[in-house]
Amino acid sequence: MSFSFNEENLAKIEELKKRYPSPHALNLPCLWMAQYQDGYISLDAIEEISKIIHMPSMEIYRVATFYSMFHLEPQEKLVVDVCKTLSCKLCGSDEILNHLKNKDVRVRHVECLGSCGSAPVMQINDEYYENLDTKKVDEILGEML
């Protein structure tokens, strides 16, 4: 299976190239575009990005595996990221995690989501859900499942 960016994404990449002094700076935007386009980032997509931004594919792979928001395989279930750092823990993220165990979702306990002032926090796709309790979690998931 091969990957190629669609015309819309290729046009975005060309526009972004004009804004940065080095094409290497397009690593993250290209990873996002590949994931939005196919729902995950395949190794073929990493190879294509490598050709476009003139960066070794292993460097792109390292970035893709460093960040928990990138998926390197198709996702079967809804993926729910729950922050596991101190602010969220003190405000009830463990209760949220335990509550999610009974739901038909894939739960990932991830590093700081950067929203400590509104803890506990979870992320689904690109959306943050803050100041959570189990009732709010059920309302959010009820709209998605």
What mean pLDDT comes out for the span 23-50?
96
pLDDT, one tens digit per residue, over 113-138 is 889 999 999 998 778 999 999 999 99
Mean pLDDT score, 28-48: 96
pLDDT average, residue stretch 29-37? 95
How many other CB atoms sit within 10 Å of the CB of residue 113? 24
**pLDDT number for residue 50:** 97
Give the torsion sign (CA, 134, 137, 143, 145).
negative
Rg over CA atoms, the chain: 17
Q: How confident is the model at residue 1 (pLDDT cuts 50, 70, 90)?
A: low
pLDDT per position as a tens digit, 73-97 = 987 678 899 999 999 999 999 999 9
Dist. CA 56–CA 86, nearest whole Å: 36
Q: Which residues contact 132 (CB under 8 A, 6 or more apart)?
A: 92, 96, 120, 121, 122
